[in-house]
Amino acid sequence: MVQYKAPVKDIKFLMNDVYNFQKHYQTIPGGDEATEEMVDMILEAAASFSEDVIAPLYQSGDEGCRFENGNVYTPKGFKEAYKQYVEGGWQSMATPVEYGGQGLPISLALAKSEMIGTANWSWGMYPGLSLGAMNTIWMHGTEAQKREYFVPLSDGRWMGTMCLTEPQCGTDLGQVKTKAEPNGDGSYNVTGTKIFISSGDHDLTENIIHIVLARLPGAPEGTRGISLFIVPKFNVNTDGSLGERNPVTCGSIEEKMGIHASSTCVMNFDSAKGYLIGPENKGLMCMFTFMNTARIGTSIQGVASAELSFQGALPYAKDRRSMRALTGKKDPDKVADTLMVHPDVRRMLLTQKAIAEGGRAMVYNAARIADLMNAAHSKGDTELYEKYDDELGFLTPILKAFLTELGYEAANHGVQVYGGHGFIKEWGMEQIVRDAQISKLYEGTTGVQALDLLGRKVLLGKFKSFNTYADKVSAFTKATKRPEMKKFIRTLKRSMIGWKIYNYRIAFKASKNRDMVGSASVDYLMYSGYLCLAYYWAMMAETAYQKIEKGEGDLAFYKAKIQTAEFYFERMLPRAKGHAKMMIKDPKSLMQMKEEDFSFLD
C-alpha cells in the first residue's frame, strides 16, 4: 500500500527559494492575496485534503465506475470526497472574483492539483476536466453564458466536459461529423457520437455542462468548419434552476487499462439542445487559445506518477532484505542487507526522484508563465499575452510528452524495485503504471506533441521561442559563477550549443525533405526534454548552494538536491546523446520500406 504524503517542503523550495513566487505574485492581479502565510495555509490544507481524503480512495477506486441504466456511478467514497472539495472552495481558487471565485494565482491552484492528482489521478480528473470547460466559457463565452454556466462550474455545483473525439477521429479533428442545426431561437440541435469523454457522466454533480465540437449546416469541410457548443445535461431555466433532461446520454463506459475510477464515456447527442460559444467555424481556434495551459495539467501526471511510485518504492527498498552489498555486509547481524545497498536499486530510485523533482520544477516554471499570461489577458494586453503564450508554447509539448514518458518510466522502476511483488495488485505499484499509460496518449500523443514542438513551435516559428528559451539558459549560465557549479554549467553550455546546431541541421534537412520533421520529431522532443531538465536541475543546485552558503534551512535537504542534480547530469542527461544521433539521420531508413513489405505473414 502506497501512503501518499504531499511533498510540501519540495513545493515550497520551488515557490520560495528557486522561483521567488512572493515577488512574482506582487506583479499579477490577485497576487497580493497570496501572501506567504496564505500560501502556506493553502498548501497545508491541500496536503491534508489529498493525504486524508483523496489518497485513501486510490486503490479502492481501481475497482472502477458502475454503469447502470444509462447512469454512471463513481467508486465508493468519491461523492463524499467531492462534497468536501466543494465545501473547501477548492474549485474556485483561481477563478475570477467577479464570478464568485477567489482570484488566487493559477500557479497556486496548480500546486493543489498536483497534490490531489498524485494522491489519486482518477479522482482529480473530474474537477480537472471541468477546468477545461470553464476556461472555454471564460475565454469565449458571452457575459450571459458566464453567469449561467461559469459560476456554478466555478462553485463546483456543476461539472463540465470537453467533447472532441469521435469514433473516426481523435487527433485529426477536421474529420468531426457531429452536426448542430439552428432552431431559430438562438439554440441548436446537436446530433452525433462522441467517444473517450472523461467525466461524460457521473454522480458527483446535479448537472454536467458539455463543450462540444460540431458542424453548422453548410460549414466548410475540415478544421475550418468546426464550431463550439455548450450542451448541458439538464437544460437550465432562466432562474438558474434545472429544467428538463437534454437528450445527451452516456451509451457505455470504456473498459480500460487504468484510471478505472475515471469514467470514460461514449456520449450520444440526439438532437440535444446546445448553444454556440465563440464565433461560428472558429471552434478549433478557440480551443487552441488555452491548449497550452490545459496541457500543463496533463504534464502534472508525469510528475504525479514519478512521485507516487517513488513514495511507494523507497520504503520497500529500505525495508526489504536481499543479498549482500558488493562491498561487504552492511548489516552482518541480519539475514541480508536491505535493497538500499544495491547500486542499481539506488539508480532506479534516484531516477524516479530526479524525474519527480525535476519535472515539478519544470511544471512550476510553466505555472509561473501561466500566471503572467492570465494577468496579461485580464489587462487586455494582447501583445504581452502572446509573448508569454509563445514562451509557454515552446515548453508545453516538452512538458506534456517528455514528462509523461518519463513519469511512465519512473512508474515502471517502482514495479521493478519491488521485484515480483511489483506485479501484484495488492501493493499498488502496478496500478501506477496502468494509470500512467494514458498520460502518453490523451491530450495529444507523444508523437503529436513532438510534431507540434519541432514542426510548429521550432521550425515554423523560425526558432523565435527556442531563442527566448535559450537566452534564459544563457543568462543563467553567465550569472552562475560559483566554482562548485562549474561541472553543471560547462555541460549545460555545451549542450545548448549542440542544440542550436542540431536545430539548423534539422531545418536544413527538412527544407529538402519534409519527412525529416516527422522522422526527427520524437527523438528531438526527448533530446529537448533532457536538455531542459538539465537546466532546471542546475537551477535547483545553484539555489541549494546559495542556501547552504547562507546556512539557511535544512542543509541535508539542499545537499540532497545537489546530489540529485549530480546524479541527473551523470546518469540521465547522457541519454540525450543517443537521441541526437538518431534524430539527425536521414528519413530514408523510416520511409523506404513499402507498406506491403512490413509483413510477410499472408
Grid cell 482570484 is found at 103
C-alpha grid cell for residue 146? 458566464
Position of cell 506534456? Answer: 400
End-to-end CA distance of the chain: 48
Shortest Å distance, C-beta 348 to its own copies: 8
Identify residue 117 by its one-letter amino acid code: G
Least distance CB 255 / its own copies (angstroms): 4
Nearest approach in angstroms of CB 559 to its own copies is 7
Q: Are strands 207-214 and 158-163 parallel, antiparallel or unpaired?
A: parallel
φ/ψ (deg, to 5) at 513: -150, 110
* Single-letter amino acid, residue 70: G
Q: What is the DSSP letter of 528?
A: H
Q: Which of 108, 153, 163, 109 is nearest to 130 (CA)?
A: 153
Q: Which is nearer to its own copies, 386 or 570 (CB)?
A: 570
CA 314 to chain CA centroid, nearest Å = 24
All three cell numbers of 120 = 489519486
The contacts of residue 582 (CB under 8 Å, 6+ apart) are 523
Taking the complex as a whole, the smallest distance from the CB of residue 493 to its own copies amounts, in Å, to: 18
Q: Could you tell me if 474 and 496 are in contact, meaning their C-beta atoms sit under 8 angstroms apart?
A: yes
166: left (phi over 0), alpha (psi -120 to 50) or beta: beta
- Which of 98, 443, 542, 596 does the annotation list as catalytic? 443
Name the residue nearer to its own copies (CB basis): 450 or 489. Answer: 450
Sequential DSSP letters for 119-141: H-HHHHHHHHHHHHHHHHHHHH-
CA-nearest of 339, 220, 189, 236 to 283 is 220
Comparison of 490 and 571: residue with beta carbon closer to its own copies: 571
What's the min distance (Å) between Cβ of 127 and its own copies? 21
In single-letter form, the type of residue at position 78 comes to F
Amino acid at 490: R
CB of 598 vs its own copies, minimal distance in Å = 6
Nearest approach, Cβ of residue 430 and its own copies (Å)? 4
Q: Rounded to an integer, what distance in angstroms lies between the CA atom of residue 411 and that of residue 430?
A: 8
The residue (of 34 and 517) whose beta carbon lies closer to its own copies is 517
Nearer of residues 294 and 450 to its own copies, judged by Cβ: 450
Comparison of 340 and 384: residue with beta carbon closer to its own copies: 340
Cα 530 from Cα 569, distance rounded (Å): 10
Place of cell 463540465: 160
Nearer to its own copies, 336 or 384 (CB): 336
The reply to whether 44 belongs to the active site is no
Distance (Å, rounded) from C-alpha 141 to C-alpha 342? 57
CA angle at residue 568 from 368 to 495, to 5 degrees? 80
Question: How many Cα atoms sit within 13 Å of 157 on the Cβ side?
Answer: 11
For 213, the enclosing helix (H) or strand (E) is strand 207-214
Residue showing cell 453548422: 216
For its own copies, the closer CB: 299 or 374: 299
Q: Considering beta carbons, is residue 328 or 380 the nearer one to its own copies?
A: 328
Burial class, 69, CB count within 10 angstroms (exposed 0-12 / middle 13-18 / buried 19+): exposed
In 3D, which of 199, 192, 194 has the Cα closest to residue 167?
A: 194
Residue corresponding to grid cell 482518477: 122
- Provide the annotated active-site residues: 443
